[in-house]
Amino acid sequence: MTIAQLIPVAINLSMGLMVLALGLHASWSDAISLLRQPALLVRSFLSMNVVMTVLAVLVAVLFNLHPAVKLALVALALSPVPPILPGKQTKAGGSTSYVVGLLVTIAALSIVVVPLGIGAISRWFDLSIGVPAARIASVVLMSVVAPLVIGLVIRQIAPAFASRLARPLSIFATVLLVVSFIPVLIKLLPVLMTMVGNGTLLALAIFTLIGVTVGHFLGGPEPDNRTVLALASGTRHPGVAMAIASATFPDEKAVIAVVLWHLIVGAVVCIPYVNWRKRAHASALSKSGR
């Protein structure tokens, strides 16, 4: 296997290990927790898949962007929670139960939502594109479902071992992801640089900012739930977005470049919000005496 072939394997492996680390902290009850809260489930779906998809379409219409870039925005809006996000959500004060429940539920729904959403957008813009549900299911299974189930099983069988393993595994997965993305960034650097100053980065910043705002207000009365939904609405799963890209524009590097820029822009834009929520969470714990 060549280095070029190893890179996507390493990226997918790192995302799976992040979810595995999350599963080592969680329970089976956490995985189905959102199904027991229908009001929160509806608001979560509305924020992530309805409002953000409409926003992506509006941005695609209003900004003079490359067609592949417009598709990438819609693909991101339809994609589930990125595996790298749950750790950030819990650090910012989000509850493990809602984080895991949202990850599982939205990932499962994406198997249906993504093909239907892309089909609707295709008809709207008169494009001949489509995404097989099997391809999305494969990405969701390998990057979310399988590693989470493995983590939950280990947690149930050997809780002490799971607690010791979770943190070093999460650190290793993060380092592996960063190292794996460096060659991709270098290879796509010329394409990435063409997007500076042409409205793409502004569109991604707007996407993230509105996603965080909408998610925060639709998260409901529980502050920690607001934090989780805000970050989930503003940032998305790169693997699903890239699967959509490869199915629709197999030779178009611009789509992958947009997904990479989204990871970078989304992380930067979310920093002030994450810091604010950390302080608010710490203050709430202090007042409650915990």
Residue 289 is predicted with a pLDDT of 58
Residue 89 is predicted with a pLDDT of 60
Give the Å distances, CA to CA, from 217 to 47, 57, 141, 236, 266.
9, 21, 30, 18, 19
For residues 26-55, average pLDDT: 90
pLDDT of residue 47 exceeding 80: yes
What is the rounded distance in angstroms from the CA atom of residue 260 to the CA atom of residue 242? 10
pLDDT of residue 209 exceeding 90: yes
Amino acid 115 reads P
What is the rounded distance in angstroms from the CA atom of residue 114 to the CA atom of residue 140? 12
**Among 72, 62, 104, residue whose Cα is nearest residue 199:** 62
Residue 207 is predicted with a pLDDT of 87
pLDDT digits (tens, 9 = 90+) for 64-95: 777 777 777 887 888 877 666 666 666 666 67
pLDDT of residue 39 exceeding 90: yes
pLDDT digits (tens, 9 = 90+) for 241-277: 776 666 666 555 777 788 888 888 888 888 898 888 8
For residues 173-179, average pLDDT: 84
Residue 102 is predicted with a pLDDT of 87
End-to-end CA distance of the chain: 52
**Among 115, 81, 120, 128, residue whose Cα is nearest residue 101:** 81
pLDDT cut 70: percent of the chain above it = 82
Q: Which residue has the higher pLDDT, 203 or 241?
A: 203
Asked whether the beta carbons of 242 and 263 are under 8 A apart, the reply is: no
- By CB atoms closer than 10 A (0-12, 13-18, 19+), residue 157 is exposed
pLDDT digits (tens, 9 = 90+) for 148-171: 899 999 999 999 999 999 889 988
Residue 43 is predicted with a pLDDT of 95
Asked whether the beta carbons of 106 and 47 are under 8 A apart, the reply is: no
pLDDT of residue 216 exceeding 80: yes
Residue 210 is predicted with a pLDDT of 92
Residue 260 is predicted with a pLDDT of 82
pLDDT of residue 194 exceeding 80: yes
Asked whether the beta carbons of 239 and 85 are under 8 A apart, the reply is: no
- Scanning the chain, the segments in alpha helix (DSSP H) are 3-23, 28-31, 38-45, 52-62, 67-78, 85-91, 96-124, 133-140, 146-157, 159-187, 189-194, 200-218, 223-234, 238-248, 253-288
Catalogue the long-range contacts made by 27-30 (C-beta closer than 8 Å, 24 or more residues apart): 27/152, 27/155, 27/156, 28/152, 28/156, 29/97, 30/96, 30/97, 30/100, 30/101
